[in-house]
Amino acid sequence: MACSGSPNDDTSPEDRLKEAQHEFDAKHYETASKILEEIRVITVGTALGAEVQYLLAESNYRMSNYLEAESYYSAYMSAYPGGPQVEEALYKRAMSNLKEIQYTSVGFTGIRKKIPYDRDISLVRSARLNFAQYLKEYPEGEHSAEASKWIKELWEREGQHELEIASFYLKKKKKPEAALGRANRIIEGDYPEEIKLKAAEIAEAARKKLAPEDSGKEGETP
């Protein structure tokens, strides 16, 4: 038998998969990934294909290659919609989004993982939508409680991002209409209540800026 990670025409895909599983179990994820890549194409559509694709996703997830892991989980669900690991793949795809954007913060309370909202939040939204899809398809699933928790937190981060944009517009002399529109979208959305309350304050301030100076009626929209 060939050494792990080295292709050998005399070694069957089944044996190579066993090698990859052995390396994965030993936490040699990079070696496992290389073996799986060697047999991925030749096992597509076979009985081994689903296991190869899923283990490849898991190996990349364990190596913190989250963008690659997300792609492999998606490919697994697309190619093997009836596969035994679809529920786990759907959850792990959302977690891959989340882990890609989390950063470590060190403070007086210790080390914490935080989710930023002061930059491009496309991955934040993608993670929320993927968690929501998991919860829709598996409302009583193993990870339903965790998915619900993350959806709430990610909605809050999206809301904070929108609040910052609305506040920015409010500070601009010629942008109160934009601030009001942004704030109203937050108020009408599914954001947490505390986010909506802050948006209402911005909306009120924007309406005051838009009111005619001689109206004597603060907060009245022209």
More confident residue, 222 or 38: 38
4-8, 66-70, 130-134: which range is least confident on average? 4-8
- Look at residue 191 in the predicted model and tell me its pLDDT: 87
More confident residue, 16 or 190: 16
- Look at residue 173 in the predicted model and tell me its pLDDT: 72
Same domain assignment for residues 19 and 80:
yes
Same domain assignment for residues 113 and 156:
yes
Instruction: Report yes or no on 2 lying in a domain.
Output: no
Same domain assignment for residues 157 and 111:
yes
- Look at residue 45 in the predicted model and tell me its pLDDT: 83
Last residue of a domain, one of 56, 84, 112: 84
Kindly report, residue by residue over 146-201, the tens digit of the pLDDT: 999 999 989 998 898 889 889 989 888 778 899 999 999 999 988 889 999 999 99
Kindly report the CATH number assigned to the domain that includes residue 72: 1.25.40.10
Same domain assignment for residues 70 and 98:
no
- Would you say residue 115 has pLDDT above 60? yes
- Look at residue 119 in the predicted model and tell me its pLDDT: 62
Instruction: Report yes or no on 222 lying in a domain.
Output: no
Indicate the pLDDT class of residue 123, thresholds 50, 70 and 90.
Answer: confident
Instruction: Report yes or no on 165 lying in a domain.
Output: yes
- Look at residue 205 in the predicted model and tell me its pLDDT: 92
Same domain assignment for residues 201 and 96:
yes
φ/ψ (deg, to 5) at 115: -115, 115
For the chain, the maximum distance between any two Cα atoms, rounded to a whole number of angstroms, is: 89
Kindly report, residue by residue over 31-54, the tens digit of the pLDDT: 999 999 999 999 998 889 999 999
Same domain assignment for residues 41 and 102:
no
Same domain assignment for residues 99 and 191:
yes
Domain that holds residue 109: 90-212
Instruction: Report yes or no on 192 lying in a domain.
Output: yes
Instruction: Dump the DSSP string for 79-136.
Output: H-TT-TTHHHHHHHHHHHHHHHH-EEEEETTEEEEE---SS--HHHHHHHHHHHHHHH
Q: State the total domains in the chain.
A: 2
When pLDDT is averaged across residues 56-70 and rounded to a whole number, the result is 96
End-to-end CA distance of the chain: 81
Instruction: Report yes or no on 219 lying in a domain.
Output: no
Instruction: Report yes or no on 217 lying in a domain.
Output: no
Same domain assignment for residues 205 and 123:
yes
Round to whole Å and give the CA distance between 138 and 97. Answer: 19
Write the CA distances from 160 to 74, 117, 190, integer angstroms: 29, 7, 13
Cβ neighbours, 10 Å, residue 130: 26
Last residue of a domain, one of 84, 99, 118: 84
Same domain assignment for residues 21 and 68:
yes
Same domain assignment for residues 112 and 53:
no
Last residue of a domain, one of 84, 115, 131: 84
Q: Which amino acid is at 212?
A: P
- Would you say residue 222 has pLDDT above 80? no
Identity of the highest mean pLDDT range in 3-7, 173-177, 205-209, 211-215? 205-209
Kindly report, residue by residue over 76-114, the tens digit of the pLDDT: 999 999 999 999 999 999 999 999 887 543 444 444 456
Same domain assignment for residues 41 and 66:
yes
